[in-house]
Amino acid sequence: MASSLTTASAGTPGSEKTFFGHPRGLATLFMTEMWERFSYYGMRALLVLYLVSGGADAATGSQGGGLAMTAATATAIYSVYVSMVYLMAMPGGWFGDRVWGARKTVTIAAFVIMAGHASLAIPGQAMFFVGLALVAAGSGLLKANISTMVGHLYDGPDDARRDGGFTLFYVGINLGAFVAPFVVGTVGEKVNWHLGFALAALGMGLGLVQFLIGTKSLSPKSNVVPNPLSPAERKSILVKVSLVVVLAAAFYGVVVALGMYTLNWALVPITLAGLIIPVAVLVRIKRDKDLDKTEQSKMTGYIWFFVAAAVFWMIYDQGGSTLSLFADDKTADTVFGLGFPATWYQSLNPLFVMALAPVFAWLWLWLARRNQEPNTIVKFAMGLVLVGASFFVFIVPMNMAGGGDKVSPMWLVSIYMIQTIGELCLSPVGLSVTTKMAPQKYASQMMGVWFLAVTAGDCTTGLLSLAGVDLNGTGIIAMEASLAVLAGFAIYMYRKKVQALMGSVH
């Protein structure tokens, strides 16, 4: 499939084939990421629906065969799972930099992801959690390294094709995410849950096969371990990891032996870790005495953006849990007389991203030429206000469905569109400001720090669910919406102070 998208370089007969004018290796990475996102978003579209299937919170008439959990438990598991995917991006980058190199790490990650989806395809609660852990670990390993390999294809940051290459790569991400709910979601929701998970495994398998076939077109740099561990470091890490594993096994062995074990014994520590680790990482960087005064100031300013992003993702990522459950149980499943499964709503976000991202790219340039482009702080404030507004809108159909009536699908279409516009204001800008404000010493690690904002936001959602808060109630939805809007106004009102901390970064 990838080769059909390649052409010879213009004006250079017989020259090496390219991918829309970019290095041939981009086709390999594009297809790998597309299939990985196909498997990830396909499984994600099924996750909460499978967890509640057969239980009291499942939609009337839905197929059985799930784990019959409550909506609160399903939301907690979903939130913890998504947070772990992003948390694992940091150790994933570490493995690429210090142990295996980017190419080998991506290969291993793809095998792990495929094994995870295959485990989900086997009925049973034990295999479900094994599969979920494998997919989270593999996704973290792959996420951190495949983007690095895209960068390896170009001649440094000044290569004129570099931004365009990452744009094409981003299209692959959203293309896989868009198609997945139509295939994996439909089969899983309407035919058999485990067959849907098996299709996700097949998708990752296809991605792995074409990656292995296309490795010859990748940069040799992707095979290099930039900063390999010394024998002493390797031994020290193995000892520490082994000690942690033994202590954890002993602790949980005692809990099980005493008959005290419940699912919360696993979920609560993971959720707390997902909140503590981001804070610890930021504190460690902020207190580093090697940072000069300017870098210290920028890190103080960056904390504003980090907290704002965590609030944003706390609401945004409920598109796959709270909104998904509402779509399944309280939203009409027909349009113009044509029926469709609830999982199809998960295709709306990538569809809107592909449709609106070029519009926003043009808009920012158009405003910049007129010296009217909003700065980073204002864009963040816009993103927060919009994601909060989406939940204020959500309250309307929630109240309409209170009497058992099903609401129009257009309510959810509108909510997902508002959230996507907010994402386009905040997410690309967050990636950019992270690279601009990163201290030189932590230049390669700060992207992992940005992903930790997602971890913190999702773990907050998970902790609320575990504490018994009904995230599917209008009260908590209104509270979250208010928090996001207030956070947006706060960062806007303090924009001069934040800008002063940012120094020359705009």
In a domain, 8, yes or no: no
| pLDDT on residue 157 | 62
Q: Supply the Cα-derived Rg of the chain in whole angstroms.
A: 23
DSSP run (H or E) holding 118: helix 102-120
452 contacts 402 by C-beta, under 8 angstroms? no
In a domain, 346, yes or no: yes
In a domain, 450, yes or no: yes
Same domain? For 144 and 30 the reply is: yes
| pLDDT on residue 148 | 84
In a domain, 248, yes or no: no
Same domain? For 476 and 411 the reply is: yes
The per-residue pLDDT for range 365-394, each reduced to its tens digit, is 898 899 998 988 999 999 999 999 999 999
| pLDDT on residue 444 | 65
Give the end of a domain, one of 242, 273, 296: 242
378 contacts 495 by C-beta, under 8 angstroms? yes
Q: State yes or no: pLDDT of 416 exceeds 80.
A: yes
- Looking at every residue in the chain, the average pLDDT score rounds to 89
- Tokens representing 431 are 């990636």
Q: What percent of the chain has pLDDT over 90?
A: 64
Same domain? For 64 and 197 the reply is: yes
In a domain, 13, yes or no: no
Q: Give the E-state strand segments of 218-371 in sequence order.
A: 334-335, 338-339
Q: State yes or no: pLDDT of 230 exceeds 90.
A: yes
Worst-scoring range by mean pLDDT, 10-19, 145-154, 359-368? 10-19
460 contacts 272 by C-beta, under 8 angstroms? no
Angle at 161 between CA 141 and CA 16, to 5 degrees: 90
Task: Find all residues with CB under 8 Å of 301, minimum gap 6, and list them.
Answer: 437, 498, 499, 501, 502
- Tokens representing 355 are 């449709």
Same domain? For 27 and 130 the reply is: yes
Task: Find all residues with CB under 8 Å of 456, minimum gap 6, and list them.
Answer: 83, 274, 275, 278, 279, 306, 310, 313
Burial class (CB in 10 A: 0-12, 13-18, 19+), 5: middle
Amino acid at site 483: L
| pLDDT on residue 2 | 36
Q: State yes or no: pLDDT of 17 exceeds 80.
A: no
- Tokens representing 392 are 């204020």
Give the Cα separation of 26 and 153 in Å (integer): 7
Same domain? For 236 and 272 the reply is: no
Smallest CA-to-CA distance from 66 within 80, 81, 78, 51 is with 51
Same domain? For 123 and 45 the reply is: yes
Task: Find all residues with CB under 8 Å of 267, minimum gap 6, and list them.
Answer: 76, 77, 80, 462, 466
Q: What is the number of residues in the chain?
A: 506
Same domain? For 281 and 161 the reply is: no
Q: State yes or no: pLDDT of 445 exceeds 80.
A: no
- Tokens representing 450 are 């940005």
Smallest CA-to-CA distance from 217 within 296, 161, 152 is with 152
More confident residue, 472 or 210: 210
- Tokens representing 403 are 């009497």
What's the gap between Cα 146 and its chain centre?
14
Give the end of a domain, one of 242, 270, 301: 242
| pLDDT on residue 13 | 40
What CA–CA distances, in Å, run from 448 to 13, 34, 101, 158, 317? 42, 21, 17, 23, 18
In a domain, 147, yes or no: yes
Same domain? For 235 and 355 the reply is: no
67 contacts 369 by C-beta, under 8 angstroms? no
In a domain, 88, yes or no: yes
Same domain? For 236 and 329 the reply is: no
In 318-375, which residue ranges form alpha helices assigned H by DSSP? 322-330, 348-369
Give the Cα separation of 413 and 172 in Å (integer): 22
Strands 338-339 and 334-335: antiparallel
Place of tokens 């901390």: 501
Same domain? For 234 and 325 the reply is: no
Q: 216: helix, coil or strand? A: helix
Strands 338-339 and 17-19: unpaired
418 contacts 46 by C-beta, under 8 angstroms? no
Give the Cα separation of 171 and 134 in Å (integer): 26
In a domain, 12, yes or no: no
Give the Cα separation of 308 and 302 in Å (integer): 10
Residue 45's pLDDT band (boundaries 50, 70, 90)? very high
The per-residue pLDDT for range 67-111, each reduced to its tens digit, is 999 999 999 999 999 999 999 988 888 898 889 999 999 999 999
Same domain? For 195 and 286 the reply is: no
Count of the separate structural domains present in the chain? 2
Same domain? For 216 and 287 the reply is: no
Q: State yes or no: pLDDT of 6 exceeds 50.
A: no
460 contacts 381 by C-beta, under 8 angstroms? no
CATH number, residue 269: 1.20.1250.20
CB atoms within 10 A of CB 252: 14
- Tokens representing 280 are 């610890």
Worst-scoring range by mean pLDDT, 177-181, 323-327, 344-348, 439-443? 439-443
Identify the domain containing residue 207 by its residue range.
Answer: 19-242
The per-residue pLDDT for range 146-159, each reduced to its tens digit, is 988 888 888 866 67
